[in-house]
Structure 1
Amino acid sequence: MPHRLTYFALPLLTAFPLAASAEVPRVAVDIPPVYSLVATVMGDVGTPELFIQPGASPHGYSLRPSEASALDSADLVIWVSDSLTPWLEGPVEHLAGDAHHLELMDVPGITTLAYREEATFTLDEGQAHEREHGHDHAHAHAKSHDHQDHQDHQDHHGHHHSHTGTNPHAWLSPSNARQWLTAIADQLSDLDPDNAAAYRDNAAQGQDALIALEQQLQERLAHSADTRFIVFHDAYQYFEEAFNVQAAGAISIGDASAPSPARIEALQTLVNEENIQCVFSEPQFNPQMVNNVFGDTSAYLGVMDPLGVGLTLDAGLYAALLEQLAGEITRCTRAESA
């Protein structure tokens, strides 16, 4: 099926010539961080199509006609998980039923974490011990994600989104992103063997770049291990684990639904009694609620975003997103020490 390709320069990738005989797959992806990872693997060979607009919450969304068309014409659909986008299961089945599918939470060997259901979070004994001794606890408390375990979870919960069970915001773990680069390259190579070498080389270069970035951010956040903050919803746990930082609580549960009055009261108490310095809203949601609830406290009110709203939609977005989150937390650390 002939189609027009869009080309752009990618800073981390080596350019590979497009093989004239290759039919480059049409790839539809759900959220900007996944778009960035897929663009990294595709490089100059092709460009994915995003079917959830930047700035929109993936937890609830209505596809535009152009986005439905992207699914309908896709050869490969890549998305995080039905637990992140429960509304997507029907459109993928009906519009892209003949396409190949890659659900990233199904990739074997990734790190998964359970949702934290309470309004306030506490460190367990192992985390507290490792923080006291300055150890990186990212891998000690992560559990390896096995495909069958994930399938059992899906069967048990009927594949409907819930704030219990596995937290699907797993793209904020750079180690998961590295695993996903390999899985994406494998899928594309199967569909487009003429460009398999380009896909796999791009994925390897992307993995090397992520390893270097992770080390840089760990050093940058080394002084933030004791900085505790409140986030809008429990989307940052994977980032916390990777970089040894700790949210003190979340305004909303993991699916970003409206918080109860009791939950708000618990968080206000936490801010006042434990002198929490920072409360973060998200650009996908009305910040006025955060201002109304915490505006009279001493907390610094910032913005933290798990999707990269406002960042350029290209292969560099994923790295820029991690850097942006690190920047918000270091600002919070400075506010705490001021």
Structure 2
Amino acid sequence: MSPFLSPVRSIRSLLPALALLLAAGGAQAADAPKVVVSVKPIHGLVASVMQGVGSPKLLVKGASSEHSYTLKPSDARALAQADLVFWVGESLETFLTRPLESLGGKATVIELIDAEGVEAMNLREGGAWEAHAHDDHKPGHAHDHDHKHDHKHDHGDHASLDGHIWLDPHNAEAIVKAAAAALSEIDPARAETYAANAAATVARIEAMDAEIAAAVAPYRDTPYIVFHDAYQYFEAHYGTSAVGSITLSPERQPSARRLSEIRQRLAETKARCVFAEPQFTPALVDVVIEGTSAQKGVLDPTGANVPEGPDSYFAIMRDIEKGLRGCLAPQS
């Protein structure tokens, strides 16, 4: 008999080992926690923490708005099968309030507006306001604002809070840490992976924060108006000068009186830009700037055109920075 095995016999001898490896890999993938996330910026942060383990499911995709979203059957199935659900809270994703209550404890639900380290802000009233104070802002340092929310609160007052918490990078860091802690709780075997991913993500946020602060610094005193009041966390953190919004809530059409007030605000402040959002009709912006020297730009707090995944949060923040610079810079 030949001292060498034939190629066929060699392959056959390896089949049991290969089968075991494939089974182990399949079991490992199957063991990845089933995670559902409400909106894209939060999804991006959670996906970054879960790199190498699995991918969370995003509910509000594309140009859909969290303010008017309706769950699809596939969304309801994902929630029913979830081990872990991340959302901001009832002040933002009202469409999720009842579905989450109906889960009956089957999934761990993390309401991020309550996460440790997140500083929530109260909703502003009216469409015109004073720009945030510019008291020596430095990236990486905490800021005190009179309208920051005290976390010693009852759950019933969440409706009065602004849910766009991720637009402050400090809050984004807190969200990352909360995600790592929640994932480690339900999946302790991968706790080290989650912790390492979280540390890398926080470092990336800190670097991005410093770069955005430097990029927008020349335009901090340049007034502008936004489509809806979604950006005050960004404004407070970076000291930019938003002076009003066309509408407080995008699902409500502004009245003729409101449009008149914003046009007056535009004239008084000499705001250089009025920003639309891709999810909503730009016609209202055209009405506001008609007959003025103001420019029209686009900002998007949730990244309608940004691909979902672990880079999405960073792309959303960079796009806001670029949108501001592109419109606020003096026109040649």
TM above 0.5, yes or no, is yes
The Cα offsets for residues 294-336 of structure 1, whole Å up to 9 and x where unpaired, read as 233221111110001111211111111111101111112214x
Give 1:228's aligned residue. Answer: 223
Give 2:18's aligned residue. Answer: none
Give 1:276's aligned residue. Answer: 271
Moved more, 292-301 or 317-326: 292-301
**1:277 to partner: Cα distance:** 1.2
Change (3 A) 1:62 1:22: closer
Give 2:90's aligned residue. Answer: 82
Residue 305, structure 1, aligned to residue 300, structure 2 = yes
Q: Is the 8 A contact 1:233 1:251 kept in 2?
A: yes
Aligned-partner Cα distance in 2 for 1:274–1:234 = 17
Residue 39, structure 1, aligned to residue 47, structure 2 = yes
Aligned-partner Cα distance in 2 for 1:258–1:115 = 18
**1:207 to partner: Cα distance:** 0.2
Residue 57, structure 1, aligned to residue 52, structure 2 = no
Give 2:242's aligned residue. Answer: 247
| Secondary structure class of the residue paired with 2:152 | helix
Within a 5 Å distance, the mapping from 1:211-222 to structure 2 comes to 211-222=206-217
| Secondary structure class of the residue paired with 1:283 | coil
Give 1:24's aligned residue. Answer: 32
Aligned-partner Cα distance in 2 for 1:229–1:322 = 18
**1:148 to partner: Cα distance:** 3.4
Give 2:144's aligned residue. Answer: 140
Give 1:48's aligned residue. Answer: 56
Paired residue type of 2:183: L
Q: Is the 8 A contact 1:18 1:44 kept in 2?
A: no
**1:118 to partner: Cα distance:** 1.7
Paired residue type of 2:274: V
Change (3 A) 1:146 1:26: farther
**1:256 to partner: Cα distance:** 4.6
Q: Is the 8 A contact 2:116 2:178 kept in 1?
A: no
Aligned-partner Cα distance in 2 for 1:39–1:245 = 29
Aligned-partner Cα distance in 2 for 1:211–1:55 = 28
Give 1:101's aligned residue. Answer: 109
The Cα offsets for residues 27-75 of structure 1, whole Å up to 9 and x where unpaired, read as 0000000110010000010000011222111112111111111111111
| Secondary structure class of the residue paired with 1:250 | strand
Equivalenced residue count is 306
Aligned-partner Cα distance in 2 for 1:246–1:214 = 18
Change (3 A) 1:75 1:267: same
Aligned-partner Cα distance in 2 for 1:268–1:19 = 61
Q: Is the 8 A contact 1:279 1:301 kept in 2?
A: yes
Q: Is the 8 A contact 1:29 1:51 kept in 2?
A: yes
Q: Is the 8 A contact 2:121 2:148 kept in 1?
A: no
Moved more, 326-335 or 37-46: 326-335
Aligned-partner Cα distance in 2 for 1:37–1:313 = 10
Aligned-partner Cα distance in 2 for 1:245–1:320 = 19
Q: Is the 8 A contact 1:224 1:330 kept in 2?
A: yes
TM-score by length of 1: 0.84
Residue 318, structure 1, aligned to residue 322, structure 2 = no
Which of the residues 285, 288, 291 maps onto 1:290? 285
Change (3 A) 1:236 1:117: same
Q: Is the 8 A contact 2:225 2:242 kept in 1?
A: yes
Aligned-partner Cα distance in 2 for 1:191–1:106 = 19
- Structure 1 runs (4+) greater than 6 angstroms displaced: none
Aligned-partner Cα distance in 2 for 1:231–1:207 = 28
| Secondary structure class of the residue paired with 1:110 | coil
Change (3 A) 1:244 1:147: closer
The Cα offsets for residues 209-256 of structure 1, whole Å up to 9 and x where unpaired, read as 100110111111110111111001110000111111121100111465
**1:116 to partner: Cα distance:** 1.6
TM-score by length of 2: 0.86
| Secondary structure class of the residue paired with 2:50 | helix
Aligned-partner Cα distance in 1 for 2:104–2:285 = 39
Which of the residues 182, 187, 191 maps onto 2:186? 191
Aligned-partner Cα distance in 2 for 1:200–1:86 = 31
Q: Is the 8 A contact 1:27 1:76 kept in 2?
A: yes
